[in-house]
Amino acid sequence: MERQLPETISNEALAELPLIQFEGKIVVVDRPGEIACACDELMVSPALGFDTETKPVFQAGLVHKTALLQLSTPDTCYLFRLSKIALERPLLRLLESRSVLKIGAAVRDDLKSLRSLRHFRPEGFVDLQRLVGNYGIAEKSVRKLSALVLGGRISKRQRLTNWDADILTPAQQLYAATDAWVVLQIYLQLQEKNRQLVTHNL
């Protein structure tokens, strides 16, 4: 495949790009009775953005469990608070579905942490870090992939906040939703560039 996008971007150039963030609906799921309905809505989507958040560790040897699972459509992001709810069967069915693609970055680490909560067989996952090399992109971080593919930068200010907090702040919710939404947008944009290339070569 011929290169369609820049291979890399400097931190200086990235800082000059406009800020992009999720502008859709954010649904916080923190009660067991809300899980099935949320998963039913997500199961009808062909592709979802996928990410997790964990309370940061500032002490050697300490490990926290995954606190948040984010699954996003282009216009709605569900934040499953795993610090308050379990990985119940509707969620596992979604994570094991081959028909619903889950797009993420470094998904192996996220899945390892999720499987430590409850065993399941992940299916339908696409790792952007493996995919972007086909487009001549050398970068792996979501921050730089957003810049190269979408032409915008995302904020990482909330990354080291407390994801086990009793209530997530609006800033945390927006950060978490943006992280899941943006990987889906990168994937969809790459797919569109692929279609344009095929059409051009016909």
Q: What is the per-residue pLDDT across 80-112, written as a single tens digit (0 to 9) for each?
A: 999 999 999 999 999 999 999 999 999 999 999
Q: Which two tokens stand for residue 169?
A: 């702040």
Q: How far apart are CA 156 and CA 143, in angstroms?
A: 8
Q: Is residue 6 part of a domain?
A: no
Here the CATH number for the domain that contains residue 104 is 3.30.420.10
| pLDDT at residue 1 greater than cutoff 50 | no
Amino acid (one-letter) located at 100: V
Angle, CA of 127, 38 and 111, to the nearest 5°: 30
Mean pLDDT of the chain: 91
Whole-model pTM: value is 0.92
> In total, how many domains does the chain have?
1
In the chain, DSSP assigns E strands to 25-29, 47-54, 66-72, 76-81, 101-104, 125-127
Confidence of residue 56 (pLDDT cuts 50, 70, 90): confident
25 inside domain: yes
- 5 band by pLDDT with thresholds 50, 70 and 90: confident
Could you tell me if residue 5 is inside a domain? Answer: no
Domain region containing 173? 11-201
CB 22 within 8 A of CB 79: no
**Domain assignment present for 78:** yes
Q: Which residue has the higher pLDDT, 99 or 193?
A: 99
Arithmetic mean of pLDDT, 22-34: 97
**Phi and psi, residue 47, nearest 5°:** -150, 145
pLDDT tier at 197, thresholds 50, 70, 90: low
Provide the β-strand partners of residue 25. 76
Domain assignment present for residue 3? The answer is no
pLDDT per position as a tens digit, 169-188: 999 999 999 999 999 999 99
Q: How many CB atoms lie within 10 A of CB 183?
A: 27
Whole-number Cα distances in Å, 151 to 11, 112, 131: 13, 31, 18
